Amino acid sequence: MSGYIDLHSHWIPGIDDGAPDVAEALAMLRGLGRIGFSKVVATPHMRTGLFDNERADLERAFGEIVAELRRYPELPEVALSSEHHLDDVVFANLVKGEGLPYEPARTAALIEFPTDHFPARYRERLFDLRMRRVRPVIAHPERYRPVWKDITVMDPLLDGGAVLLLDVCALVGKYGRAPRKAALELLEGGYYYAACSDAHRATDVREVEKAIAELYAVMGDEEAEFLLAEGPRNILEGRVAG
């Protein structure tokens, strides 16, 4: 196996609630590399009112840190995408082609919902993206309150071509009991296509390591490796079926 691929992390310094500086970014990448990630995609937030990042801001910040990373060839490979909050402004930008879908295929994009309720017209919006050949990759569905009540609320999204991305740390209780229970139910139901770290700090890596061990314990080697390696690779390369 050539290593895990992390589709969701916040290591670009000073651009959102992730790494505050270059030293922290390096420590995060080093830590994620140590526990088996050979590629780590940065997904800084695009979220109206909270992280008003536009594509050019994120590309500039990524370019700066990549220049720095050339001094550390032992670190995992990196790439840039974004965690797109499904609000009016970010959705409009995605539709206009001003988002940051996953490279190289650019046929899937990471989408985040508010945690308490699903946003207005979310089904239509996700369907609209799918029609534009951008497959929605739903970030941490286990953290969404409507999912705690009934995981089948995700069924129409899966039917519409979305895929679900587990934040592995939910499995070790990082977000509390309800997300942990929902994550286990979604795993058992075969809902997830991939798993990620959603790391924000170097200190998160220890928890990610424990959570990966838990993922292997719950799902077995073959399925855990799919969620951490093959599933993410298929998303990046546009090879998800359906």
Q: How many residues bind Fe ion (CB under 5 A)?
A: 2
Q: Are 4 and 231 in contact (CB under 8 A)?
A: no
* Per-residue contact string for residues 66-105; x = within reach of Fe ion by CB under 5 A: -----------------x----------------------
Both tokens assigned to 77: 């490979």
The values of phi and psi at residue 163, to 5°, are -125, 155
**Of the two residues 119 and 223, which places its CB atom closer to Fe ion in the complex?**
119
| Nearer CB in complex with Fe ion: 198/204 | 198
Min dist. Cβ of residue 110 to Fe ion (A): 8
Q: Helices 88-95 and 122-131, interaxial angle, to 10°?
A: 10
Question: Which residue minimizes CB distance to Fe ion?
Answer: 198
CA atoms of 233 and 153, how far apart (whole Å):
26
- How far apart CA 218 and CA 196 sit, in angstroms, is 16
Residue for token pair 């046929």 = 107
* Closer to Fe ion by Cβ: residue 44 or 231: 44
The answer to whether 209 contacts Fe ion (rule: CB under 5 A) is no
Smallest distance from Fe ion to CB 197, Å: 9
Q: Which is nearer to Fe ion, 24 or 198 (CB)?
A: 198
The smaller minimum CB distance to Fe ion, of residues 145 and 200, is found at 200
Compute the least distance from the CB of residue 51 to Fe ion, in Å.
10
Q: Both ends of the chain: CA-CA distance in Å?
A: 25
Q: Which residue is listed with tokens 């088996």? A: 36
DSSP secondary-structure letter at 4? E
- List the helix and strand counts (H, then E) for the chain: 10, 9
**Nearest of 215, 180, 177 to residue 196 by alpha carbon:** 215
Can you tell me the distance from the alpha carbon of 181 to that of 185, in angstroms, rounded to the nearest whole number?
6
Name which of 25 and 127 has its Cβ closer to Fe ion: 25
Cα–Cα dist 10/89, whole Å = 21
Site pattern 32..61 for Fe ion (x: CB under 5 A): ------------------------------
To the nearest whole angstrom, how small is the minimum distance from the Cβ of residue 152 to Fe ion?
24
Q: Draw the binding track, 179-208, toward Fe ion (x: CB under 5 A; -: no contact).
A: -------------------x----------
Judged by beta carbon, residue 83 or residue 142, the one nearer Fe ion is 83
Q: Look up residue 146 and give its two tokens.
A: 């409507």
Contact residues for Fe ion, defined by CB under 5 A: 83, 198
